[in-house]
Structure 1
Amino acid sequence: MCGRFALFTPIPQLTNKVGAVMSERDIGPRYNVAPGTWIASIRQASEDSAPTLEEMWWGFRPSWAKGKGTQPINARVETVATNNFFKSAFAKHRCLVLADGWYEWIKNTSPKQPHYLCRQDREPLYFAAIYAKREDGRLGCAILTEPARGSSIDVHDRMPLILNDDSLESWLAPDLTDKETIRNLVGHIDADLIEHWPVSTAVNKPSEGQGDELINPL
């Protein structure tokens, strides 16, 4: 799964890659982004508009759900196109969640031992995500996950779906709605790019800070 991540690369550097229009709101670095908060994302609302940087609530519950049920933070790539809760968003409302790395926890450790996972070349990450309008009119999203690959298998059996550069435009394209076409055009980064290391257990509590020391190797 993906339940916590870090974002500290300057936002203009991330938006330039997809030609996204910047938000007027200043988005500073965060080293322990948790669910149930507003997170930086990019979406393309229509064929005639440019991608835009927007803040979305990390938690997916469309307005038609009438405030009932959970707000999942992740959606499995294996079922997102067919699950009734997600399939409309997968077809019509796809977005990118911006990150530099994410955290996972080694099982059966006490206290829970977090690891930080990122690209070996330290390039930023573009998580595939879906979004929907919430009851309050704002947008909420869920990050897609896939079976763990590469060294991330050491830490957890799932990982976020991290898109390669060639897939970003297709993933955002609002006119691309056929699920098989989407799957054929969209690819993830090479598993060999991923590395990880243990970090402070201060990550376990987002209230304990957002400083860059959280990603330092133990």
Structure 2
Amino acid sequence: MCGRFAQYHSRETYLEALGDKVERQIAYDPEPLGRYNVAPGTRVLLLNERDEALHLDPVHWGYSPVWWHKQPLINAKSETAATGKMFKPLWNGGRAIVMADGWFEWKRDGSKKQPYFIYHQSGEPLFFAAIGKAPFDKEEENEGFVIVTAASDEGLVAIHDRRPLVLTPEAALAWMSEKTTPAQASEIAHEGVVPVEAFAWHPVNKAVGNIRNQGAELIDEIADPLV
């Protein structure tokens, strides 16, 4: 994880879930984003705080600093990101949030692979912890972002051993806050996470594996999963 996710509600739906007392520099837009198959290498609306207000910036999903000559990285482990050479600067000064409605994981059994869609049981928006090269509005200087992941547990581990670090609305705001220290961010990564029992999941069509497929039918449950 995380290699694909869905972001299909409007930006207003996600922002309302954060509460109505949040200062924002984001234009009102009630139109659904309609992205059912967001893939690495594309630009994603990244929620971040600058000058004590929330901003939305389209940022490349995949971190590739100028000295990095391999494939861009798309995830960072929460257990090591705060201290590792690659991600520590991003953890310290580039924390952001990816707004989502669910994510996809592929369950494997030998050569068989079956995609599953994972979402909040209540249908409420999800807030993935992310880190990247700030400021995110400087497109020519931006090196992208990664989604922070955590170890799965309980029933979800049967699908995949990693999952995005999904934060509660309150924790998401604190994660982005410029007043939050790196040490406090580490505490949020442990204490502000939505528990696994809050999620539900079901098998979906393998068509989600092709990034050209973007329709709402990609999140529909199928009756005959391979795994």
Same fold per superposition (TM over 0.5):
yes
Q: 1:154 — aligned with what?
A: 158
Partner of 1:129: 130
CA spacing shift, 1:112–1:194, aligned 2, 3 Å: same
Distance 1:86 1:163 in 2: 19
Q: How far apart, in 1, do the equivalents of 2:91 and 2:32 lie?
A: 26
Q: 5+ residue gaps in structure 1?
A: none
Equivalent position of 1:52 in the other structure: 55
Could you list the runs of 4 or more consecutive aligned residues of structure 1 that deviate by over 4 angstroms after TM superposition? 23-27
1:2 partner SS: coil
Shift of 1:41: 1.3
Counterpart secondary structure, 1:189:
coil
Kindly provide the CA deviation profile for residues 56-89 of structure 1, in whole angstroms up to 9, marking residues without a partner as x: 1000123xx3353331000000000111110011
Question: Which residues in structure 2 correspond to 1:91-110 (within 5 Å)?
Answer: 91-108=92-109, 110=111
Amino acid of the residue matched to residue 181 of structure 2?
T
State the partner residue of 2:225: none
Are 1:15 and 1:53, in contact at CA under 8 Å, matched by a contact in 2?
A: no
Match of 1:10 in 2: 10
Cα distance in 2, alignment partners of residues 118 and 71 from structure 1: 26
Letter in 1 for 2:109: N
Deviations 1:4-62 (A, max 9, x none): 000111111212326333258977211011000001210112xx330101111000123
Asked whether 1:166 is paired with 2:167, we answer no
Distance in 2 between the 1:206 and 1:27 partners?
19
User: Which residue does 1:43 correspond to in 2?
Assistant: 48
Question: In 2, Cα distance between the equivalents of 1:100 and 1:135?
Answer: 26
| Contact 2:64/2:143 (<8 A) preserved | no
In the aligned structure 1, how far is the partner of 2:111 from the partner of 2:35?
A: 26
Aligned CA-pair RMSD: 2.1
Unaligned stretches of 5+ residues in structure 2: 223-227
Where do residues 72-83 of structure 1 align in structure 2 (5 Å cutoff)? 72-83=73-84
Q: C-alpha separation between the residues in 2 aligned to 1:183 and 1:67?
A: 26
- Aligned-residue sequence identity (percent) comes to 33
Q: Spell out, residue by residue over 1:142-161, the C-alpha distance to the aligned partner (whole angstroms, 9 max, x if none).
A: 00000013432120000000
Partner of 2:109, secondary structure, is: coil
